[in-house]
Structure formats: C-alpha cells, structure tokens
C-alpha cells in the first residue's frame, strides 16, 4: 500500500470532519457595553454665591401702631388766635356787602370792610393753662377765667367756668370741640344772647 496516498486521504477525511463539526456553532454574542457618558438626572449643586445668599423675606414687618390721640383737655392748653372763619366770617361778609352798597362796582369798599373785620378778629387771642384761660382783646386781657374739666374725649372737652376775675360764673359750661390737634370751635361765652351766640374758630399759634 502506498503510504503517501494513505496520508493524503487521512488529511482529507480529517478536514471534512472539522468543517462538519464547526458549521453548527454560533458566534458568541458581544455583551452590551455601558455608555461612555451616562445622563445625570440629579439636580445641579448650588453655586457658592447662591449658597451664601440669605433666603428671600416672606413679608415686610408690620408698621408700628400710631400714637394714642391726646385728650381734648390737653390739646386746649397753649396759645391760640381767633380765625376769620365760620359764623364770624359769614356775618362780616354780609356787613361788608351792606356797607359797600350797590355803587361799589370794583368791590374796593367791600374788600376794605372785610379786611377790617378780619384784622379785628386777629386781635383776639387765648392763653390757656390746665385750669385758667385768659381771653385777650387787642393784646390786653379782657377775661381771666378759672375752670375745671367736667369731661373730656379725644375731640371734645366740657369746661365748668368758675370765676372771671371776681365775678362768679357758677359752673357755666363751655363746650370746646377740636376739628384737629390745632383747631377748635366754641360758642362765644360772652354773647349777651346765648341762643344767638356765634361759633368762634381758634387755631394754635
């Protein structure tokens, strides 16, 4: 038997067997690789400036409460001058028109009479303490009256007049009404007819 032929045939058979066995194998699957840059779903860290900043204020602080109003008896203390207003001005206006008459076409006579009345009112002043009021006319005391306070609120005070100099007023009431801290009204306490007494306006000096 020829040995060369035998070796060649053996090689052919071996190669056929290897091909037959290897043809049924599947290539190994490559496992999935992780992404090179995974997505970060966490919140970003605050910067140094944001971390140092104070939290925003939730609301503004409440304003301080207003000071309590002074009682009228305390507002009454001080120096006041009669104001050309109210009943006094209305009366002066009517008197000035009557004095000027219909022939006062340019209104000079009327204005002169009105200015004179306003000046006379400005000569009436009050100087008040906690128990005495001094009523001055043209710079001189016309009445110096002691009084007591019957009652007082924020806007009104009822005074009981005791003595005007030597004259006893026997508790005659005097109602003082404040429109604000520096202005008050009062019925003329020296009017001859109390029912027709004018309402006088005083303002703080």
Distance CA 186, CA 9 (A): 148
For the domain spanning 72-86+124-204, the CATH number is 2.40.128
Pairing outcome for strands 78-83 and 199-204:
antiparallel
pLDDT digits (tens, 9 = 90+) for 31-40: 555 555 555 5
Reported as a single tens digit per residue, the pLDDT across 14-36 is 444 444 444 444 545 555 555 55
What is the per-residue pLDDT across 36-90, written as a single tens digit (0 to 9) for each?
555 555 555 656 555 566 666 667 888 888 888 899 999 999 999 999 999 999 9
CA quadruple 136, 142, 145, 151: dihedral sign: negative
Residue 136 has pLDDT above 50, yes or no: yes
In the predicted model, is pLDDT for residue 1 greater than 50? no
- Residue 203: burial class (beta carbons within 10 Å; 0-12, 13-18, 19+): middle
Domain limits, the chain: 72-86+124-204
Per-residue confidence (pLDDT) for residue 29, from 0 to 100? 56
Confidence grade of residue 166 (pLDDT, cut at 50, 70, 90) = very high
């Amino acid at each position: 038997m020829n040995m060369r032929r035998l070796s060649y045939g053996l090689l052919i058979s071996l190669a056929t067997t290897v091909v037959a066995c290897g043809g049924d194998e599947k290539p190994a699957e490559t496992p999935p690789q992780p992404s090179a840059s995974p997505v970060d779903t966490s919140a970003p860290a605050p910067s140094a400036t944001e971390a140092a900043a104070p939290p925003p204020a939730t609301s503004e602080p409440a304003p301080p409460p207003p000071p309590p109003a002074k009682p009228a008896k305390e507002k009454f203390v001080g120096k006041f001058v009669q104001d050309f207003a109210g009943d006094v001005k209305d009366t002066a206006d009517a008197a000035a028109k009557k004095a000027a008459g219909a022939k006062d076409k340019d209104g000079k006579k009327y204005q002169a009479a009105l200015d004179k009345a306003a000046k006379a009112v400005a000569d009436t002043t009050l100087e008040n303490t906690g128990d005495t009021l001094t009523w001055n006319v043209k710079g001189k005391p016309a009445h110096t009256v002691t009084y007591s306070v019957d009652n007082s609120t924020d806007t009104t005070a009822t005074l009981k007049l005791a003595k005007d100099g030597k004259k006893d007023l026997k508790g005659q009431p005097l109602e003082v009404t404040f429109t604000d801290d520096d202005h008050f009204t009062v019925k003329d306490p020296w009017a001859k007819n109390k029912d027709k007494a004018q309402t006088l306006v005083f303002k703080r000096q």
